[in-house]
Structure 1
Amino acid sequence: MKRLIENGLMFGNLVEVSSPALVERYKRAMKHLCGRETTLPDFHIDISGYSPEIGAELGDDLYLNPKGANRQFILLTTAQKNAPLLNSKFSTSRGIIRQFIETNEAQLFALTARDAVAGSLQNSVYEISTPAKLLDIRRITVEADTIGGHVADAGKLAALIERFRTEPDGWRDDLLIAEMIGLAKRTGDVTRVPIHLPQMAFEQPNFWTSHFGGLYVFRDLPSPALIAAMPRESLGAVPISQVFDLTQRNQVADWLERNQLVEPIVQARGMDAAAVIRQKMDFILVEAADRLGLEIGDARRTELRALAHRLGDALPPEFQGLAALLRWIEAGGPWPRITSEHPAYFYTLRARAHKDRDLVNMLLSELAPLDVRQMFIVHKELFYASYAHWSERKRRYVAEFLVREYVVDKQGARAALFGPEPGMDERSRPEPRPARDLGPVVGPWGKAQGRRA
Structure 2
Amino acid sequence: MKRLIERGLMFGNLVHVASPVLVERYNRALEHLTGRTTALTDFHIDISGYSPEVGQELGDPLYLNPKGVNRQFILLTTAQKTAPLLDATFSTSRGILRQFIETNEAQLFALTAKDAVAGELVNSVFVAETPADLFTIRKITVEADTTEGTVRTAERLGTLIDRFRTEEDAWYDDVLIAEMIGLARETGDVVRNPVRLERMTFDQQNSWTALFGGLYLFRGVPEPGVIAAGDKAALGPMPVDTVLDLSDRNAIAGFLERNGLVEPIVRARGIDGAAILHQKMEFITAATAAGQGETLTGATRRDLRRIARRHADLLPPEYHHLAALARWAEDAGPWPRITADDAAYFYTLRAAAGPDADLVNQLLAELSPLDVRQLFICHKPAFYAAYATWPEEKRAYVAELLATEYAVDKAGTREALFGHEAPMDDPAPAADPELLDRVGPWGAVRRR
> Normalising to structure 1: TM-score of the pair?
0.93
Opposite residue 438 of structure 1, the aligned amino acid is A
Opposite residue 226 of structure 1, the aligned amino acid is V
Contact 1:48/1:75, CA 8 A, preserved across alignment: yes
Distance verdict in 2 for CA 1:324–1:432, change over 3 Å: farther
Paired with 1:447 and 1:97, the residues of 2 have a C-alpha distance of: 39
Which position in structure 1 is the counterpart of 2:41? 41
Which position in structure 2 is the counterpart of 1:208? 208
Which position in structure 2 is the counterpart of 1:424? none
TM-superposed deviation, 1:331: 4.8
Consecutive unaligned residues in structure 1, runs of 5 or more: 422-427
Distance verdict in 2 for CA 1:432–1:355, change over 3 Å: farther
Paired with 1:432 and 1:52, the residues of 2 have a C-alpha distance of: 52
Matched, 1:240 2:204: no
Paired with 1:213 and 1:291, the residues of 2 have a C-alpha distance of: 28
Distance verdict in 2 for CA 1:399–1:324, change over 3 Å: same
Paired with 1:432 and 1:399, the residues of 2 have a C-alpha distance of: 42
Distance verdict in 2 for CA 1:429–1:228, change over 3 Å: farther
TM-superposed deviation, 1:433: 5.2
Q: Equivalent residue of 2:226, what SS?
A: strand
Paired with 2:7 and 2:296, the residues of 1 have a C-alpha distance of: 22
TM-superposed deviation, 1:71: 0.2
Distance verdict in 2 for CA 1:163–1:332, change over 3 Å: same
Which position in structure 2 is the counterpart of 1:18? 18
Matched, 1:156 2:149: no
Distance verdict in 2 for CA 1:318–1:432, change over 3 Å: farther
Give the count of matched residue pairs: 443
Which position in structure 1 is the counterpart of 2:104? 104
Report 1:30-429 matches (<5 A).
30-296=30-296, 298-420=298-420
Opposite residue 253 of structure 1, the aligned amino acid is A
CA offsets 1:103-133 (integer angstroms, 9 cap, x no match)? 1111111111111111000000000111000
CA offsets 1:166-187 (integer angstroms, 9 cap, x no match)? 3444333333222222111111
Paired with 1:37 and 1:187, the residues of 2 have a C-alpha distance of: 26
Contact 1:287/1:394, CA 8 A, preserved across alignment: yes
TM-superposed deviation, 1:301: 2.3
Contact 1:207/1:359, CA 8 A, preserved across alignment: yes
Consecutive unaligned residues in structure 2, runs of 5 or more: none
Q: Equivalent residue of 1:208, what SS?
A: strand
> Normalising to structure 2: TM-score of the pair?
0.94
Contact 1:353/1:429, CA 8 A, preserved across alignment: no
Q: Equivalent residue of 1:313, what SS?
A: coil
Distance verdict in 2 for CA 1:91–1:67, change over 3 Å: same
Distance verdict in 2 for CA 1:345–1:225, change over 3 Å: same
Q: Equivalent residue of 1:306, what SS?
A: helix
Paired with 1:441 and 1:306, the residues of 2 have a C-alpha distance of: 39
Q: Equivalent residue of 1:85, what SS?
A: coil
Using the TM superposition, name which of 155-164 and 209-218 deviates more.
Answer: 155-164
TM-superposed deviation, 1:239: 0.5
Paired with 1:100 and 1:318, the residues of 2 have a C-alpha distance of: 42
TM-superposed deviation, 1:332: 2.2
Distance verdict in 2 for CA 1:406–1:431, change over 3 Å: farther
TM-superposed deviation, 1:432: 10
Paired with 2:26 and 2:35, the residues of 1 have a C-alpha distance of: 12
Q: Equivalent residue of 2:330, what SS?
A: helix
